[in-house]
């Protein structure tokens, strides 16, 4: 029996599917202009979302919410987020090799050395730049890339998300499935790159950390997976560029476990939080955080 959809869920699916079709049908230049226009409109007519982004940007910049720089960074954040969606929708239509050309990268040697150890690699990233393009780039270069997908409603919206990411060459493990940790561990053992976007605690059971002077929670999954498998964590942030985006693959995070699992998970997650602070500070407007980042 199919799940019963609410009116808002039906509208959400239709809106998403329609926007995807429009983005893929438009010429690139006019499409980017239209999505940029929509971003300016959304900034104007969505005060609650705008205020959420203002609060997040103010926290990152260390400035009052009414500061001119905060307001400018918020407007830029809306534009970059629209750019993310436009580019993501069109990724599957790129000619072979075009994704590699448009999506530059630094530090591939760090990933190659990590994989050579035989335990796979955990590529941790944030909601920055274009993480879908990063996954597609890895796949185009021949790396076995595995990503985790959060549960979405309605079910056909989640299926559309999964279809899009599989079309980009990624294997997907649904976050709502059984034995997620065990499945990811098996992928790592087989030599895969497991990509985790880890700057939001979706389950509400994460580790409390301090970021930009205030507590928030981050998911424990990356630390738990690394500690249980021995696979290295490499921070792989992406940033928007003029042509597309780029990924910076950093050396594996150095961490010496104490043997006390709970303490080690907390310590490693807090180490990730400090790295996230540094990366977000580089380009605050490129952090696509349109939900309250701090309670």
User: Contact 272/124 with Cβ under 8 angstroms?
Assistant: yes
Report pLDDT for 100.
87
Q: Which residues of 7-32 are buried (b: 16+ CB within 10 A; e: fewer)?
A: eebeebbeebeeebeebeebeeeebb
* Confidence (pLDDT) at 119: 97
Residue 226 CA to its chain's centroid (Å): 19
- Cβ neighbours, 10 Å, residue 150: 13
Residue 83: its H or E element: helix 68-90
Q: Identify the pLDDT of residue 149.
A: 85
Instruction: State the residue for tokens 């043997």.
Output: 259
Structural domain boundaries in the chain: 7-286
pLDDT, residue 177, reads 64
pLDDT at 2: 54
pTM of the model: 0.95
Specify the DSSP element, H or E, that contains 275.
Answer: helix 261-282
Per-residue pLDDT of the chain (295 residues; tens, 9 = 90+): 356 889 999 999 999 999 999 999 999 999 999 999 999 999 999 999 999 999 999 999 999 999 999 999 999 999 999 999 999 999 999 988 888 888 888 999 999 999 999 999 999 999 999 999 999 999 999 999 999 988 888 989 999 999 999 999 999 998 876 789 999 999 999 999 999 999 999 878 899 999 999 999 999 999 999 999 999 999 999 999 988 899 999 999 999 999 999 999 999 999 999 999 999 999 999 999 999 999 8
Q: What is the pLDDT of residue 176?
A: 72
Can you give the pLDDT at residue 1? 39
């Amino acid at each position: 029996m199919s799940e019963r959809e609410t009116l808002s869920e039906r509208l959400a699916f239709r809106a998403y599917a329609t926007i995807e079709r429009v983005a893929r049908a438009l010429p690139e230049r006019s499409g980017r202009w239209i999505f940029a226009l929509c971003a300016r409109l959304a900034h104007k007519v969505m005060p609650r979302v705008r205020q959420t982004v203002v609060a997040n940007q103010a926290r990152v910049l260390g400035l009052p919410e009414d500061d001119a720089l905060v307001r400018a960074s918020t407007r830029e954040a809306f534009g970059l987020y629209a750019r993310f969606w436009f580019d993501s929708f069109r990724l599957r239509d790129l000619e072979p090799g075009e994704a590699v050309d448009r999506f530059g990268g630094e530090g591939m040697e760090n990933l190659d050395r990590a994989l050579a150890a035989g335990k796979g690699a955990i590529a941790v990233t944030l909601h920055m730049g274009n993480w879908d393009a990063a996954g597609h780039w890895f796949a185009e270069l021949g790396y076995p890339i595995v990503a985790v997908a959060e549960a979405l409603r309605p079910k056909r919206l989640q299926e559309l998300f999964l279809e899009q990411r599989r079309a980009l060459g990624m294997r997907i493990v649904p976050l709502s499935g059984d034995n997620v940790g065990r499945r990811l561990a098996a992928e790592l053992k087989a030599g895969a790159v497991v990509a985790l976007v880890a700057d939001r605690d979706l389950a509400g059971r994460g580790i409390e950390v301090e970021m930009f002077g205030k507590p928030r929670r981050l998911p424990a999954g990356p630390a738990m997976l690394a500690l249980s498998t021995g696979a290295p964590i490499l921070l792989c942030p992406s940033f928007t560029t003029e042509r597309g985006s780029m990924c910076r693959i950093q050396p594996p995070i150095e961490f010496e476990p104490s043997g006390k699992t709970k303490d080690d998970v907390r310590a490693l997650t807090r180490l990730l939080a400090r790295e996230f602070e540094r990366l977000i500070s580089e380009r605050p407007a490129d952090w696509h955080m349109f939900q309250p980042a701090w309670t």
